[in-house]
Every structure is written in C-alpha cells, then in structure tokens.
Chains A and B, each alone.
Chain A
Amino acid sequence: MTYAIEISDLKKRYDSGFEALKGIDLKVEKGDFFALLGPNGAGKSTTIGILCSLVNKTAGHVSIFGTDIDKDFAKAKKYLGVVPQEFNFNVFETVFNVVVTQAGFYGISLSVAEERAEKYLKQLDLWDKRNDQSRMLSGGMKRRLMIARALIHEPEVLILDEPTAGVDIELRRSMWEFIKKLNEQGTTIILTTHYLEEAEQLCRNIAIISAGEIVENTSVKALLKTLNQETFILDLDTSLPNNWALPGFSVSISKDASTIEVEVIKGQSINAIFKALDEISVNVVSMRNKSNRLEELFVKLIKG
C-alpha cells in the first residue's frame, strides 16, 4: 500500500546537540485527516520541516506518495502544500501576487495561476483584498492567505502547522469547514494544533509526539476508548439539600449547591446520577464535560 506520508526511523540532531527526533515511525494514509500533537519542543515542527525541506534530517527515510525525498525531492514536494505556523510571505507583495508567484515556483503558467488564485482567494474570502499589500491584512486574513498559497498547486497533502493559533472562533470555524471540504474532496490533511477539541472533532487518526518520540499513534476513536474516567459538570435548577450524597461516585458540590462535578469511571452508568437527583426532585438544567476528553489523555500520555 502506498501511503501519503511514510516516515521510518527519522532522526534529527541539531548543531547545538539537541536531539529533536529520536527515530520516529509514522504512516499517514491517503485521504486521512491526521493530527500530530505534542507539547512545545516535542518535535512536531521539526518533522514537518523535514517533510517540506526546511530542515535537513540526520537519519531515516521519508516517502511522500511513494517518492523517497532522498531520491526525488522535487517530485515529492509537488505533493505537499504547507501552511506554516509563522507568516512567511513577502509582506510588501500584494495578496494576488503572493499566490500567483508561489504558483510560478511550481512551474504553473501565469494564466492557470491567475485562474486558480481567483478561485482560492474567492473561496477564502480574500478576493476583495487581492490588490492590498499583504502586510495590511488582519491576522486571520494572513492565515487564509497562507492556505490559498499552499493550495495554488493543488497538492495531494496539505500540512497545517497550528493554523488556528490566534484566530477568532468564527473564523476558526469557517476555516475548518473549508479544510473539511478539502478533505472530503480527497486531500490528505495533516494538522498540528494546541486546540485538542479541534483534533477530536476533525481528525480520524492521531499521533502524539513527546520529547522526539511517538508515544501514541492510533485512531481518535480507539484513543478515546482508553479513557477510563470522565468528569461531568451538572447545573441544577435548585440547590441540593445538606448532606446529599451519591453512593458509588466521587462528587464535589459548589458553594451554592446548584452545580455538581461527578467523576464517572468506565462502566458506571450516568443514569444513576439522574435517578438520584430525581428522587429529591432536582432537575438537571445542563450537563458538560469538565475538560476535553482528548486533553485528559494527552496530558496523561505526555506525563507518561
């Protein structure tokens, strides 16, 4: 089977002696929506840097759609579109020129490049800004410009390195809708993010990297199954009576006794909580997870 990305025994040691990658193995299937998670300095950006040739690897093999980057990096690069963490376009160029120029670097003729630039700038709501210098754009617009630029050669794989950092909620949602559509159309998406709820909602498969090593590589569904405890917060319509207890559960009650936090261990039924509250005629107004489920696992895995 040919994978979109196939990494084996990838190592990177910087000149300073810091070992950023200690021999990682990773496979990303074609059409996947894949999350690469890890704390700062774990090796995510180094891995992405090696994939797109901004970082020289020390050892190991990387193939992109079956093309070994050591044998034909130019061909491998054509499969990739990269949206980096930092803004890295010429801020004095116009929005339109940033995108069209990038197409030229991929050998795309001007007429095709202009056509595609119009298509992607319109899709990303930047068409009205096409003649503005890119430095004049807001942070969110700059992010979208980098997405348009990364798509101009219509890559098979789109790598997004912290794409929603500093982007407001509305824009983040519309950005994810756009990326989800791309994925549905067949583009493989590789994402790094600190917003773990994004990874949980969007991604099918996940790898967690810590201190230069892959500590988990599985499907999001399988990973969440390993979670053996969740904490729920329940808002109640009236205060609980004094000395109220819920046998079998660990419960903490707020000062006004109208909100409770209940720890539910795998195998326990949430119905028991509702039943106990119903017996004292207290209704649940709303219920939510205390923290993101993936976040709990992430912290657990990183602490290892």
Chain B
Amino acid sequence: MKNSEIWVAFYTILVREIRRFTRIWPQTLLPPAITMTLYFAIFGNLIGDRIGEMGGFSYMQYIVPGLIMMSVITNSYSNVSSSFFSAKFQHSVQELLVSPTPNWVILMGYTLGGVARGLCVGLIVTVLSLFFTHLALESLFLTILVMCLTAIMFSLGGFVNAIYARSFDDVSIVPTFILTPLTYLGGVFYSIDLLPDFWQSVSLLNPVLYMVNAFRYGILGVSDINVYWALVIVCVFIVVLFGFGLRLLNQGKGIRS
C-alpha cells in the first residue's frame, strides 16, 4: 500500500473506533463520570476532610490526579479489549483481515481508538473534579504526556487481552482481577510513604504506581517516585506490548485458522 492509502486505512479504523464509543456513550462515557463524581463526593469531600492533608495538599486535591488516571487506564484498556473482541466474536474483524491494511496499522488504529476514549473520559473526569476542588497545574506538558503514554500502554494491553480472549468472560477477567487491584494499590488514594518498608518495596513493582505518581507530579508537583524513571518504564512497556501485539497479529493468533 502507498503511504497515502495506509493513512486512509489508519484514519478509517480510528474514526470507526471513535464512532463506536461515542455511539454507545451511556455505556462508555457516562459510567466513569458518575463513578468518579461519587469518588469525589465520598472520598474527597466526606471522608477527605477527616483525613486531612497528604503530600502538602488537601486529600481531595491529592486523590484527583489518581482518579483521573484510574479512569484513563480502565477506559483505554476496556475500549480496545471489548471492541476488538466484539469484532472477533461477530467476525467483522475479517473485514480488516481480507484487506491489504498492514497489521501494524490495525494495531495502531485500535490503540489510538483506545487512547481517544481514555483521553475523552480523562477530560470529563478532570472537568468534574473542578466542581469539587481547585487544581494547580505544575506542568501541562508532563500531564498530557503521561496521560497519553498511559493510555497507549493500556490500550495495547487491552489489545493483547482481546487477542487471547475466547469469551466475554476472558475480556473482563484481567480488568477485574489484575487491573483494578493494581490501580487501587498504585497510590491513587494514598502515598506509599504511609506504608511499611516492605510494602513500599512491593509497591514499586506495580507499574500503575509510576503512572499515577508521574501524573500527580504533572498536576501537583509531588511524587513518591522519580518521574523520569516512571516515563522510561512506561515507554519500555509500550515498546514491549506493541511488539508482542504485532507478533500475535502476524501469527494470526485467535483470528486466523
């Protein structure tokens, strides 16, 4: 395919993905808005006032970056995993497989579709959080960079999940049993400084911790870990997941007989 044709194919996949999640907005955009509003109201306002300050900020201000990041992670992941698995399930993925679209374009199209939803939900949650607290912005560039890289990483994760999934249960297992615990234990609600030394070390194995803290640094200017180290880790994950996803596509794992 010529470069211009590749661009059209990529754009087509991306637009289709965006059209999908905006068409079913009550399932994709509304639930995180409601859930996060409840988090802000209950953990931030009601309980947060009793907790006091954390990292030099009110508890509400402290958890907002984590909750935004949590929304980005779950939505970018689930967008790709559910969309690609649905395409497999109803065989519409064959539309792409019979076409000359290269596999790396398919992977990028789905990934960017997930990123689009992750960023869209992230923006909605950010706007909602402003009704509850004031947010300083330490570094706009870092904030956007971390948000995008995180969305890319989890979109790729969702793609790999969808490739391996054989049923809708398989699509929900990873978010329920792996992603949610990692996110809750990734410093969304607390600073790891509060943990005993052993659990602090264990927490450092959690990749979500790096993303949440890097994002928090972009907004509040505080972090439990080195931000540049966090960026390196996310980039490594992206490269590995992209390579792995592409390999699976080239092999036709789960999509070709």
Could you tell me the distance between the alpha carbons of A109 and B11 in the complex, rounded to whole angstroms? 10
Contact of A106 among B5, B11, B102 (CB under 8 A): B5
Q: Are B99 and A105 in contact, CB atoms less than 8 angstroms apart?
A: yes
Within 8 Å CB of B15, what residues of A?
104
From residue B113, how far is it (CB to closest CB) to chain A in Å?
13
Residues of B within 8 A of A75 (CB): 100
Instruction: Determine the distance from Cα of A82 to Cα of B95 in the docked complex, in whole angstroms.
Output: 9
- The verdict on A136 contacting chain B, using a C-beta distance below 8 Å, is no
Please provide the chain B residues from 1 to 50 with a CB less than 8 Å away from any CB of chain A in the complex: 1-2, 4-6, 8-9, 11-13, 15-16, 19-20, 23
- Contact A107 B4, beta carbon cutoff 8 Å: yes
* Assembly CA distance A101 to B99 (angstroms): 11
Q: Cα distance A221–B109 when bound, in Å?
A: 49
Known: A55-B257, A101-B16, A104-B9. A90 touches B87 (CB 8 A): yes
Does A84 touch B at the CB level, under 8 Å? yes
Q: How far is the CA of A86 from the CA of B90 in the complex (A)?
A: 10
Q: Which size bracket describes the interface of B in this complex? A: 20 to 34
Q: Flag if A84 contacts B95 (CB, 8 Å).
A: no
Known: A88-B91, A90-B87. A102 touches B99 (CB 8 A): yes
Let me know if B239 is at the binding interface, CB within 8 A.
no
Would you call A53 and B5 a contact (CB within 8 A)? no
Question: What's the interface size class on A, roughly?
Answer: 35 or more
A92-B94 in contact given A55-B256, A56-B256, A104-B11 (Cβ < 8 Å): no
Q: What total count of A-B pairs have CB within 8 Å?
A: 88
Residues of chain A within 8 A of B173, CB atoms compared: none
B90 touches A88 (CB 8 A): yes
A-side contacts of B12, CB under 8 Å: 101, 104-105
Contact A54/B98 with A88-B92, A104-B11 known, Cβ cut-off 8 Å: yes
B9 pairs with A105, CB closer than 8 A: yes
By a CB distance below 8 angstroms, the chain B residues around A104 are 8-9, 11-13, 15
The answer to whether B257 and A49 touch across the interface, beta carbons within 8 angstroms, is yes
In the assembled complex, how far is the CB of residue B168 from the closest CB belonging to chain A, in whole angstroms? Answer: 16
With contact pairs A104-B9, A104-B12 given, residues A84 and B102 touching in the complex (Cβ less than 8 Å): no
Closest chain-A Cβ to B90's Cβ sits at a distance in Å of: 6
Asked if A52 is at the interface of the complex by the 8 Å CB criterion, the answer is yes
With A14-B257, A107-B8, A108-B8 given, is the CB distance from A77 to B90 under 8 Å?
no
Residues of B contacting A14 with CB < 8 Å? Answer: 257
Query: Is the pair B94, A88 in contact by a Cβ cutoff of 8 Å?
Result: yes
Docked-complex contact B102 and A74, CB < 8 angstroms: yes
Q: A102 touching B95 by the CB < 8 A rule? A: yes
Most buried by A among B4, B91, B257: B257
**Contact pick for A54, options B6, B101, B256, CB 8 Å:** B256
B5 to chain A: which residues have CB within 8 Å?
106-108
Q: For A108, what are the chain B residues with a Cβ–Cβ distance below 8 Å?
A: 5, 8
Tell me whether B9 and A77 are in contact (CB under 8 A): no
Given known A-B contacts A88-B91, A89-B95, A74 and B257 have beta carbons under 8 A apart: no
Residues of chain A within 8 A (CB-CB) of B9 are 104-107
B95 and A88 form a contact (CB under 8 A): yes
Closest to B23 in A: A92
Cβ-defined partner of A80 (8 Å) among B13, B92, B96, B98: B98
Q: Is A171 positioned at the interface, with any CB of B under 8 Å from its CB?
A: no
Asked whether any CB of chain A lies closer than 8 Å to the CB of B252, the reply is yes
Would you call A91 an interface residue if the criterion is a C-beta within 8 Å of the partner chain's C-beta atoms? yes
B97 at the interface (CB under 8 A from A): yes
Select A82's contact among B19, B23, B87, B98, beta carbons within 8 Å.
B98
CB-CB < 8 A to B256: which residues of A? 53-56
Q: In this complex, which of B12, B19, B98 has the most chain A Cβ atoms within 10 angstroms of its Cβ?
A: B98
A75-117 residues with Cβ-Cβ distance < 8 A to B are 75, 77-78, 80, 82, 84, 86-93, 97, 101-102, 104-110
Question: Which residues of chain A from 19 to 76 have any CB-CB distance to chain B below 8 Å in the complex?
Answer: 46, 49, 52-56, 73-75
Q: Is the CB of B100 within 8 A of A78?
A: yes
Q: Hey, which chain B residues are within 8 Å of A77, CB to CB?
A: 98-100
Q: Return chain A residues, CB-CB under 8 Å to B13.
A: 104-105
A residues near B87, Cβ cutoff 8 Å: 90
Please list 28 pairs of residues, one from A and one from B, whose beta carbons are closer than 8 Å in the complex, sorted by A's number: A14-B257, A52-B98, A54-B97, A54-B256, A55-B256, A73-B100, A74-B100, A78-B100, A84-B91, A84-B94, A86-B91, A87-B91, A88-B91, A88-B92, A89-B92, A89-B95, A90-B87, A90-B95, A101-B16, A101-B95, A102-B99, A104-B11, A105-B100, A106-B100, A106-B101, A107-B1, A107-B101, A108-B5
B residues contacting A by CB (< 8 A) are: 1-2, 4-6, 8-9, 11-13, 15-16, 19-20, 23, 87, 90-92, 94-102, 252, 256-257
- If A52-B97, A90-B90, A107-B8 are given as contacts, then 16 extra A-B residue pairs at C-beta distance below 8 Å, sorted by A number, are A52-B98, A53-B97, A54-B97, A55-B256, A56-B252, A82-B98, A84-B91, A87-B91, A88-B91, A102-B95, A104-B11, A104-B12, A105-B101, A107-B4, A107-B6, A108-B5
